């Protein structure tokens, strides 16, 4: 009986102990998961810190790159303002949305000094204006220009538009003002007057005023068809253009340089010779004989559908310009008609870039 009591007492004690103690079974999966969680937390913290550092580094690098690019632009603009042999070109059929980069102004080498917008100067889109702005940041200037024969040439309204005055001088003033207003509207850098009275027109006659023999209001002729006479109207036009163009804007003339009245030579910034197919030397002489300052002369080649001319550009023109400089008869520079076709001929403007390096070896082009 005593033994039974002892057993009952022990059993009761065990029951009491079990009711007062929470016994937890050891789960090895929980231990492993806790370790993984702590490891991942550390990894996540390291990744977050690395991401933060990457963002900071990216921002710093972007800021450094921006400063480097701004320094590059400052150097580029300073170079173009300095004394050097210039690179010019007629940029044909500018079209920023064309799949053909030949017509993309952004592809033009940064070190080109100025271009004349040939065939695409009006009704500029936002894409045009954005490209023009980027080009101007580099110090590259863009003029517009066309062949002028009569009052109204180049405008859709033409020479017979009723807004032109019947008085020749007032009409010439109106025409010059209309051109300068167009330049201001699109923030162009001046006018490149295509002056070609000695050359035949594809529409008959020469590239000079039409119907001089008739009443002036019939066609409103402006450019003389004579080399050394009848210059009154064209000279008045040149003077008004110079007067209406704001200070700092270019007023260039190309074409029949030997026909310009010597009394108005001072009105122009540059005289651009259409010295195509390797004729730089002879056209230089024509300009000199007319009294033009050598430093204002730019001799040009044509690249229009002509890869052989582009491939000879360095030898025929860049080396010619450097040779004249060594002789103490420095010219203004060189250029090309349809300069943008060297994007194809070069390719990627190889000939233009090399010509710039030959003329200005200290400058590193982009």
b/e burial code for range 54-88 (CB count within 10 A of at least 16 → b): eeeeeeeeeeeeeeeeeeeeeebeebbeeebbbbb
Please give the average per-residue pLDDT across 319-323, as a whole number.
98
How far is residue 319's CA from residue 312's CA, in Å, rounded to a whole number? 10
Question: Does 16 fall in a domain?
Answer: no
How far is residue 256's CA from residue 271's CA, in Å, rounded to a whole number? 10
Q: How many domains does the chain have?
A: 2
Question: Does 366 fall in a domain?
Answer: no
For the stretch 255-310, pLDDT in tens is 999 999 999 999 999 999 999 999 999 999 999 999 999 999 999 999 999 999 99
pTM of the model: 0.83
How far is residue 351's CA from residue 346's CA, in Å, rounded to a whole number? 6
CB atoms within 10 A of CB 164: 23
How far is residue 281's CA from residue 85's CA, in Å, rounded to a whole number? 16
Question: Does 7 fall in a domain?
Answer: no
Q: Are residues 78 and 90 in the same domain?
A: no
Q: Are residues 60 and 77 in the same domain?
A: yes
* pLDDT band at 38; cut points 50, 70, 90: confident
Out of 55, 82, 109, pick the residue that ends a domain. Answer: 82
Domain limits for position 252:
85-359
């Amino acid at each position: 009986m005593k033994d039974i009591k002892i057993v009952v007492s022990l059993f009761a004690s065990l029951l009491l102990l079990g009711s007062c103690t929470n016994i937890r079974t050891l789960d090895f999966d929980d231990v492993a998961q806790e370790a993984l969680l702590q490891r991942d937390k550390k990894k996540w913290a390291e990744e977050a810190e690395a991401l933060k550092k990457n963002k900071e580094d990216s921002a710093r690098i972007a800021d450094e790159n921006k400063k480097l690019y701004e320094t590059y632009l400052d150097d580029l603009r300073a170079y173009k303002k300095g004394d050097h042999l210039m690179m010019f070109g007629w940029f044909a059929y500018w079209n920023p949305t064309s799949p053909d980069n030949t017509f993309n102004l952004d592809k033009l080498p940064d070190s080109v000094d100025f271009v004349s917008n040939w065939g695409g100067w009006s009704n500029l889109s936002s894409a045009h204006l954005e490209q023009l702005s980027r080009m101007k940041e580099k110090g590259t200037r863009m003029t517009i220009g066309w062949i002028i024969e009569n009052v109204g040439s180049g405008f859709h309204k033409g020479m017979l538009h009723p807004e032109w005055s019947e008085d020749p001088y007032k009409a010439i003033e109106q025409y010059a003002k209309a051109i300068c207003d167009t330049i201001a509207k699109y923030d162009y850098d001046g006018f490149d007057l295509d002056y070609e009275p000695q050359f035949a027109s594809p529409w008959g006659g020469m590239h000079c005023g039409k119907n001089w023999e008739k009443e002036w209001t019939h066609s409103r002729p402006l450019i003389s068809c004579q080399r050394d006479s009848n210059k009154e109207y064209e000279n008045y036009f040149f003077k008004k253009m110079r007067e209406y163009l704001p200070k700092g804007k270019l007023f260039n003339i190309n074409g029949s340089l030997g026909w310009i009245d010597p009394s108005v030579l001072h009105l122009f910034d540059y005289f651009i010779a259409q010295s195509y197919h390797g004729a730089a030397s002879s056209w230089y002489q024509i300009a000199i004989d007319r009294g033009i300052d050598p430093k204002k002369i730019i001799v040009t080649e044509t690249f229009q559908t002509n890869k052989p001319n582009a491939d000879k550009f360095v030898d025929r023109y860049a080396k010619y310009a450097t040779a004249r400089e060594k002789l103490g008869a420095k010219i203004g520079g060189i250029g090309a008609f349809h300069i943008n076709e060297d994007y194809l001929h070069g390719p990627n403007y190889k000939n233009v870039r090399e010509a710039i390096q030959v003329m200005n070896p200290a400058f590193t082009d982009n």
